Chains A and B, each alone.
Chain A
Amino acid sequence: MQHPDLVPHGGVAPGRHAEPAQPWASAVELHAVTRGYGAGEGAVTALSEVSVTFPRGSWTAVMGPSGSGKSTLLHCAAGLERLTSGRVTIGGRDITDASEKELTRLRRTQVGFVFQNFNLIQSLTAAQNVSMPLRLAGRRPSRRAVLEVLGRVGLGDRAGHRPRELSGGQQQRVAIARAMVSRPEVLFADEPTGALDSSAAGGVLKMLRGMVDEGQTIVMVTHDPLAAARADAVLFLSDGQIVDRVGRPTARDVADRLARMEERTTGAKTP
Chain B
Amino acid sequence: MIVLSWSTFRERWQLFLGALVAVCLGVALVQCSLLILIAAATPQIPSGLSYDDELSLRSAYTGAVSLSAIIVVLTIFVAVFVVGSTFAFTVAQRRQDLALLRLVGASRRQVRRLLLGEAVLLGVLGTAAGVLLGLLLVPVEAWLFRHFGFVPPDFVAPWHVWVLYVSLASGVCMSVMGCLAASRRAGRVRPLEALRDVGGSENVMTASRWIIGTVATVVAAALVISTGFAEGEAAMDIAIPACLLSVTALSALSPVVAPLVGRLLEALSNRLFPHSVISDLIHANLRDGIRRTASTAAPVILLVGVVVGLAGSSSEIDAGRREELRLTMTADLVARSDRPIGQEIAATPGVRAVSEELPLVIEVPDVASDGAVSYEPAEALAIDPVGYPRIHQANNVDGDWSDLRGDAMAVSPAYASRFDVGPGDVQRVRIDAAVRDLRVAAVLPRTLTGPDLVVPLTSTGPAETERLYFVQTNGLDPVTFESALQAAAGEAAQVTVTTIGDWTRTSTTSQRTESHNVILAILILVTAYIAIAVVNAVVIAGADRGREFATARLTGLDRALVVRTALCESLVVVLIGTMLGVLAAATTLVGVAAGVSSIVGHTIFTVPWGLLASTILSATVLVSVASVLTALARTRSPAIEVARARE
Residues of A participating in the B interface, judged by any CB pair closer than 8 Å: 71, 75, 80-81, 100-101, 104, 107-108, 113, 115, 117-119, 121-124, 128, 132-133, 135-137, 164, 178, 182, 190
Contact A117 B646 (CB under 8 A): yes
The complex places the Cα of A81 from the Cα of B104 at a distance, in Å, of: 15
Scan B361-403; emit 1 where CB is below 8 A from any A CB, else 0: 0000000000000000000000000000000000000000000
Contact A80 B192 (CB under 8 A): yes
The complex places the Cα of A118 from the Cα of B3 at a distance, in Å, of: 21
The complex places the Cα of A122 from the Cα of B647 at a distance, in Å, of: 8
In the complex, how many angstroms separate the beta carbon of B641 from the nearest chain A beta carbon?
12
Most buried by B among A128, A132, A182: A132
Contact A75 B192 (CB under 8 A): yes
The complex places the Cα of A136 from the Cα of B98 at a distance, in Å, of: 13
Contact B4 A119 (CB under 8 A): no
A107: chain B residues within 8 A (beta carbon)? 102-105, 191
Known: A123-B8, A123-B11, A128-B7. A136 touches B192 (CB 8 A): no
Known: A124-B4, A128-B7. A119 touches B194 (CB 8 A): yes
Scan B88-116; emit 1 where CB is below 8 A from any A CB, else 0: 00000000010011111111101000000
Contact A137 B105 (CB under 8 A): yes
What are 8 A-B pairs at a CB distance below 8 A?
Answer: A80-B190, A80-B195, A107-B102, A121-B101, A122-B11, A122-B647, A124-B4, A132-B4
In the complex, how many angstroms separate the beta carbon of B102 from the nearest chain A beta carbon?
8
If A113-B104, A121-B7, A136-B101 are given as contacts, then 7 extra A-B residue pairs at C-beta distance below 8 Å, sorted by A number, are: A75-B192, A81-B192, A100-B108, A119-B103, A124-B4, A128-B3, A136-B106
User: Does B147 count as interface, using CB distance less than 8 angstroms?
Assistant: no
B102: chain A residues within 8 A (beta carbon)? 104, 107
User: Does B160 count as interface, using CB distance less than 8 angstroms?
Assistant: no
Contact of B106 among A104, A122, A182 (CB under 8 A): A104
Contact of A121 among B1, B100, B647 (CB under 8 A): B100
The chain A residue with its CB closest to the CB of B107 is A104
Q: How many residues of B contact A (CB 8 A)?
A: 27
B191: chain A residues within 8 A (beta carbon)? 80, 107
Contact A136 B104 (CB under 8 A): yes
Contact A123 B108 (CB under 8 A): no
Contact of A123 among B7, B192, B194 (CB under 8 A): B7
Q: Which residues 1-54 of B have a CB within 8 angstroms of A?
A: 1, 3-4, 7-8, 10-12
The complex places the Cα of A100 from the Cα of B109 at a distance, in Å, of: 11
In the complex, how many angstroms separate the beta carbon of B1 from the nearest chain A beta carbon?
8
Contact A123 B10 (CB under 8 A): yes
The complex places the Cα of A193 from the Cα of B174 at a distance, in Å, of: 46
Contact B100 A136 (CB under 8 A): no
A115: chain B residues within 8 A (beta carbon)? 195
The chain B residue with its CB closest to the CB of A79 is B191
The chain B residue with its CB closest to the CB of A75 is B192
The complex places the Cα of A119 from the Cα of B192 at a distance, in Å, of: 12
In the complex, how many angstroms separate the beta carbon of B97 from the nearest chain A beta carbon?
7
In the complex, how many angstroms separate the beta carbon of A136 from the nearest chain B beta carbon?
5
Contact B107 A101 (CB under 8 A): yes
The complex places the Cα of A218 from the Cα of B108 at a distance, in Å, of: 27
Q: Which residues 161-218 of B have a CB within 8 angstroms of A?
A: 190-192, 194-195
Contact B646 A104 (CB under 8 A): no
The chain B residue with its CB closest to the CB of A106 is B105
In the complex, how many angstroms separate the beta carbon of A84 from the nearest chain B beta carbon?
15
In the complex, how many angstroms separate the beta carbon of A83 from the nearest chain B beta carbon?
13
The complex places the Cα of A254 from the Cα of B12 at a distance, in Å, of: 44
B4: chain A residues within 8 A (beta carbon)? 121, 123-124, 132
Known: A100-B108, A133-B104. A190 touches B195 (CB 8 A): yes
The chain A residue with its CB closest to the CB of B9 is A123
The chain B residue with its CB closest to the CB of A125 is B7
Q: Which residues 484-530 of B have a CB within 8 angstroms of A?
A: none
The complex places the Cα of A123 from the Cα of B104 at a distance, in Å, of: 15
B195: chain A residues within 8 A (beta carbon)? 71, 75, 80, 115, 119, 190
